[in-house]
Amino acid sequence: MDMAKVSMVLSILVAMIGPRLSHCQTQSSSLPKTISADEGPRPQPIVIPASPLDATPLHYATPAIVTPSSSPYFEHDPLLASPDELWPGWFGNVELDVVGVHVKNRLTNQVTVGQFQTDTVHVGGAVLGWTVAPKLEVGYKLPSGSGEFVLGYRFQIADGSAESSSDQGLAHVRSRLDANIIDLDYASQECSLSPHWDFRWKIGARLAMVYFDSQYQLLSPAIHFLPGPVATGNSNYFVGAGPHAGLEVWRQLGYPGLSLYGKVEAATLIGRIHQNFDETFAFRSVHSPLAEGSTSLNGPQGVPVLSFALGISYQPVSWHNCRFTLGYVFENWWSLGQVGLSSAEMTNQGLFLRSEIDF
């Protein structure tokens, strides 16, 4: 073979393979070099970003969309409601007061009989004695310890009669009382003052209508009686409304479900008093034509009312929706007939039995 031709072929091969070999050497030099054990680890360079914005990308929060809650108000909350609290709902209370009623009747006014005769009419009331005064309550208990609304109605009817003897003769006296009381209150949940003390307060309004009267009838006139009154009478009617508040306290005893009970209530009623006075007068004899006369008074008046009760309360351990209370109750109404020269007060005191049922 000619040497000139061989040289030409080798030069062509070097021209073709040479660039590829140089490229491979460049890549191999950029690869990480294996560190031997005797060389030890080499420190890595610390890269400091140009600014914090370059190191941490910014994230912008998307505004939250507030949607109305579909759950109802006053949900049962175990943090607000006591463990033994009943679920919200209706409840009813019945109370029977066996009380002795006493009305201080000092109603007095002038009555003109005929054309010339003017008398002062005053009839002392007869003893009303004992009566039963029922009180009915119905209410709705709100959930989560939010309290309750209570509507109560109490009525009291009493009458009494007596016979009296005086210089005018033998006479019959009759007295009556008719009272109606309506209370609309908001009451709190029973709260604990200490491990053994519980209390509950209420506040609202009271509407009261109280009527009482006394009638005097001469039965057997004395010989020297004439002229004089044969029959006299007076009556008082009060209608008023105003604020009403109360506080109940329970002191738990050692026996489960048994506790001492105390209650105080107060009201101030602003209303109007209407009074009537009448008299029948005989000039010659009881069977002759009689002369009659009457008069009336009315005016605004405020009537304070205060009552308190003390007793024993029992709530069965296995039946939390029922409670019974027995004790003593006292109540006084001031200025019930305060018009002109007249005045009157009413006092109730006796025993009460109260039954509370939730349903």
Could you tell me the mean pLDDT of each successive run of 10 residues in the chain, 359 residues long?
A: 55 53 44 45 51 45 47 48 61 96 95 84 90 96 89 97 82 95 95 87 98 91 74 96 97 93 98 96 71 93 98 90 95 96 96 91
List beta partners, residue 118. 112
Question: Which pLDDT score is estimated for 20?
Answer: 47
Write down all domains in the chain, each with its CATH number in brackets: 89-358 (2.40.128)
The phi and psi torsions of 10 (rounded to 5 degrees) equal -65, -40
Question: Which pLDDT score is estimated for 180?
Answer: 98
Q: Is the dihedral of CA 124, 127, 132, 137 positive or negative?
A: positive
Question: Which pLDDT score is estimated for 219?
Answer: 84
Angle at 75 between CA 70 and CA 80, to 5 degrees: 145
Question: Which pLDDT score is estimated for 281?
Answer: 82
Those residues whose C-beta lies under 8 Å from the C-beta of residue 214, and which sit 6 or more positions away, are 105, 107, 123, 124, 125, 126, 173, 174, 175, 233, 234, 235
Rounded CA gap, 93 and 110, in Å?
46
Angle at 154 between CA 152 and CA 155, to 5 degrees: 155
* Model confidence, pTM: 0.74
Question: Which SS3 state, helix, strand or coil, does residue 244 take?
Answer: strand
Question: Which pLDDT score is estimated for 156?
Answer: 97
Identify residue 245 by its one-letter amino acid code: A
